[in-house]
């Protein structure tokens, strides 16, 4: 299914197809067919009826143009779908038509269909996530010793390595996916409770039918129906939202590194990607922009879902009906962010020489902390801090190296020889545990 133009920045083609009308309809029909087979196995309905229902439960041929209109009037997509399925079964087997949707309720259909759709989406996003993790692992390893400026509050700070930065992205995104994967598994649960969540219509066969139905669909069977208990879905969406935040952090970093004044890294370009409609010279951070757009949208969507959790008694009025657009929007936003950053990471250009040049452009001022710590052991940290503050200001005003300024200050050279000062603006000598931390972050945690 082609992506609708209005959603062109909000989903991927694969996820648009996963949540297309055809796929949503088929997921509901899969529930109805599996229900019929499970009930026939328990002797609740005739096997002939189950066969007829299963044969008719194929989305092809259903009028997906009219179903949304009817769903709007019914307050649920399940009612017109069940009616259309019943009509199709009746055309070939009037007796079997009596047993369509036997003992189930509308929310059983829609919730289970949503779970089935989420399972398909999970596989799509997992594939892109694997690409992203591998690309970040390579970046972190390849650039273990690529020195660059650290930046705090967007200002130059002591040096780090690009390998450490990439490893930080990797570890956060990997942790996020671990949470998501767990929450997906927890959410892959059948919904089947009948009118009030007791399966009373199926008498003593309700539990057996439910277990068979779950097995038919490859879902877990819950201790009880979860009609108005939406915590598992909420936990999944919260995990997705956290992951969008981590992906947004990576996107923000890359976009800032792509600024012309910085120019230390760049997304892949070409093939219509990253250009401007008016400025031919532009190479815009498109993957980052799409990811940041997702990160901006998702918190509000999550808040809407959390608000909708407060549902009345055994079936919600409004909260449940709010969920489908919220859930699918969050999942698709996550999918866009993962796919976009996978593409960015796989083709990221890293300019090590520019990173070195930007570091050297600080005239050594980012090593003020290093000198301060050496002086502080003798003078005290507060006195040393004030001396370095004055020296850094003179370095900036006179456009001279900080170490040259310090070499002219007797209170400094009395403690640190000039020869030693000349070595203190070497970035390799002030990376601390960057390599140790980078290796720890790159190494997957033990299961």
Report the catalytic residues. Answer: 276, 315
CB 190 within 8 A of CB 219: yes
Angle at CA of residue 155, ends 154 and 161, nearest 5°: 85
From CA 314, how far away is CA 228, in angstroms rounded? 6
Does residue 161 contact residue 435 with C-beta atoms inside 8 Å? yes
- C-alpha 212: how far from chain center: 33
- How far is 52 from 396, CA to CA, in rounded Å? 83
Q: Which residues contact 259 (CB under 8 A, 6 or more apart)?
A: none
CA 90 to chain CA centroid, nearest Å:
44
Name residue, tokens 């005239």: 363
Dig out the tokens for 344 from the structure: 């960015």
Exposed, middle or buried by CB within 10 Å (0-12, 13-18, 19+), for 222? middle
What tokens appear for 146 in the block? 């690529």
Strand 147-152 relative to strand 155-161, pairing: antiparallel
């Amino acid at each position: 299914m082609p992506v609708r133009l209005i959603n062109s920045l909000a989903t991927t083609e694969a996820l648009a197809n996963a949540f297309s009308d055809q796929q949503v309809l088929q997921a509901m029909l899969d529930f109805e067919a599996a229900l019929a087979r499970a009930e026939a196995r328990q002797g609740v309905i005739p096997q002939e009826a189950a066969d007829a229902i299963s044969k008719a439960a194929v989305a092809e041929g259903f009028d997906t143009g009219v179903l949304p209109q009817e769903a709007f009037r019914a307050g649920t997509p399940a009612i017109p779908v069940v009616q259309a399925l019943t009509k199709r079964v009746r055309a070939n087997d009037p007796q079997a038509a009596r047993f369509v949707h036997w003992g189930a309720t509308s929310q059983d259909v829609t919730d289970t269909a949503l779970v089935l759709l989420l399972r398909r989406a999970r596989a799509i996003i997992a594939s892109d996530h694997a690409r992203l993790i591998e690309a970040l692992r390579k970046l972190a390893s390849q650039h273990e010793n690529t020195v660059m400026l650290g930046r705090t509050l967007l200002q130059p700070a002591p040096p780090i390595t690009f390998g450490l930065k990439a490893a930080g992205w990797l570890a956060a995104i990997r942790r996020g996916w671990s949470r998501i994967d767990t929450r997906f598994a927890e959410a892959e649960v059948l919904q089947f409770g009948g009118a009030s969540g007791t399966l009373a219509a199926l008498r003593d066969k309700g539990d057996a039918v439910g277990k068979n139905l779950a097995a038919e669909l490859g879902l877990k069977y819950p201790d009880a129906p979860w009609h108005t208990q939406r915590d598992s879905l909420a936990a999944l969406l919260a995990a997705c939202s956290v992951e969008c935040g981590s992906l947004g952090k990576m996107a923000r970093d890359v976009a800032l590194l792509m600024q012309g004044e910085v120019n230390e890294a760049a997304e892949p370009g070409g093939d219509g990607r990253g250009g401007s409609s008016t400025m031919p010279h532009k190479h815009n951070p498109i993957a980052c922009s799409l990811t940041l757009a997702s990160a901006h949208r998702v918190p509000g969507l999550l808040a809407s879902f959390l608000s909708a959790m407060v549902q009345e008694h055994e079936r919600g009025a409004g909260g449940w009906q709010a969920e489908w657009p919220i859930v699918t929007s969050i999942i698709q936003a996550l999918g866009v962010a993962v796919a976009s950053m996978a593409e960015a990471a796989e083709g990221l250009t890293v300019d090590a020489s520019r990173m070195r040049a930007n570091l050297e452009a600080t005239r050594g001022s980012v090593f003020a902390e290093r000198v301060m710590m050496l002086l502080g052991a003798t003078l005290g940290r507060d006195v040393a801090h004030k001396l370095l503050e004055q020296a850094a200001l003179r370095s900036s005003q006179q456009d001279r190296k900080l170490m040259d300024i310090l070499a002219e200050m007797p209170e400094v050279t009395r403690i640190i020889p000039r020869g030693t000062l000349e070595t203190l603006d070497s970035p390799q000598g002030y990376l601390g545990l960057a390599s140790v931390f980078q290796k720890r972050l790159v190494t997957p945690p033990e299961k």
